[in-house]
Copies of this chain bind each other. A is one copy, B any other.
């Protein structure tokens, strides 16, 4: 392949590579189904990094020129002629790497920093069974719109489950959503105006930052410590800026894996009362709970906390089912927006979740995941320690460990990772401003893979 990458140009190498690959496919009149060079051979041949090739291929996938095939590499897509001028146009989606993990790519790469559990861990038999049961049940589940607040029977089950966490959530205080991100979107659109100020944790959930930025909301950063948000930073921000709300993960925070201590939680609620602050508690790892845990919604006695839950992490990201708990007045406004902006959630998906809650198969499969996660977490923490990594705080549950190798930059780690077929998620992704960061989010569920183990060892300083 004859490409002509020019490092002296202002155009990023990734963009040059993607554009020239596209031209090459067109010039060679490659037929649909033709296989492209492997990432490694193209990187070697052109003298660029593997991550540069991956990103170029991902862009061509996003723009419809290539299709990835499970374990086999990248292939020319059907009907890719005549697109030359348009193909670059969806780069904003994949171009900055944020959605890269969502685009299907070479399966030989281990996504060690991703935010979900391995496919092989999932409750495949149980979910497939529930789906088939619903498919044979009342036809309403297959065809009808869902009521505005969500399926009443599902809300009743959620209410019962939340009662076990000592969260008072009567069914009329629950609104179903298409996952926690959809709940955040409804809340941001309903509670905040452009120009409003809110508090976020640093490091924190990157999609929340994007959402707030998209809505024109100012973010004030509160460092996440080993025990929760840094209250010494929080208090003056409350007094000075009067932010509208705080977004927080109490348990197994994304990305640090830290959990709120009771002391910090109590003080946080006191401060919230004193400064009339709303708290949006995103508890999407709730069903991974391992041992005692402190939740703000459990302690809250004045409806100051809006609570979010989801089945995306503990069961399926595909079905898109989550929910939020708030006072009925706000639920009414959110339900109105939910209908206006999409005529509600999927009745079928909610019926499937309801089915798994009622039969207990969700509880059993979440328990199985929790045990397995616990074993993997312990093993990864042992290994990281043995290899000379620094762990921010030993997590007591959940998927994530926040770790670094003192003295090693992200770029150095990334290079070592790719050499071992490991794809990292940079720590900078979890910074509200995208600042460089030498910490990594490690998904412990992938840590026993031999590629991860080799990487931990090579990158570490024993």
- Interface residues of chain A, those whose CB is within 8 Å of chain B, are 61-64, 67, 77-79, 83, 86-87, 89-94, 99, 102-104, 116, 119, 122, 124, 127-128, 131-132, 135-136, 139-149, 152, 156, 159, 170-173, 178-179, 181-182, 185, 207, 210-211, 214, 312, 316-320, 327-329, 331-333, 335-337, 339-349
Contacts and interface: CB of A to CB of B under 8 A. Distances in A.
Nearest to A145: B317
Most buried by B among A327, A336, A343: A343
A57 to B, nearest CB: 14
Given A92-B332, A317-B144, A346-B319, A63 B172 contact: yes
A170 B342 CA distance: 25
Given A122-B143, A145-B116, A152 B67 contact: yes
Contacts of A179: 342-343
**Copies of this chain, whole number:** 2
A83 B317 contact: no
Contacts of A328: 63, 86-87, 89-90
Contact of A86 (B178, B320, B327): B327
A128 B119 contact: no
A339 B207 contact: yes
Given A67-B152, A79-B159, A172-B64, A318 B145 contact: yes
Most buried by B among A78, A87, A145, A210: A145
Given A103-B148, A124-B139, A172-B86, A318 B346 contact: yes
Given A77-B171, A89-B328, A341-B185, A119 B143 contact: yes
B90 A119 contact: no
Given A102-B148, A170-B64, A349-B346, A339 B143 contact: no
Given A156-B78, A346-B346, A336 B142 contact: no
Contacts of A348: 131, 316, 318-319, 349
A349 B181 CA distance: 18
Most buried by B among A142, A210, A345, A349: A142
A312 B146 CA distance: 12
Contacts of A122: 139, 142-143
A122 B89 CA distance: 39
B339 A145 contact: no
A375 B331 CA distance: 43
Given A91-B332, A104-B147, 20 more contacts: A63-B172, A86-B172, A86-B328, A87-B172, A89-B172, A90-B149, A90-B331, A92-B333, A94-B148, A99-B339, A102-B146, A102-B148, A102-B344, A103-B148, A104-B152, A116-B144, A131-B131, A207-B340, A214-B337, A316-B348
A146 B92 contact: no
A211 B189 CA distance: 12
A333 B136 CA distance: 39
Contacts of A90: 148-149, 172, 328-329, 331-332, 335
Given A104-B147, A122-B142, A346-B346, A181 B341 contact: yes
A119 B140 contact: yes
A145 B102 contact: yes
Contacts of A181: 340-343
Nearest to A63: B172
Nearest to A81: B170
A299 to B, nearest CB: 20
Contact of A135 (B132, B140, B342, B344): B132
A329 B90 CA distance: 6
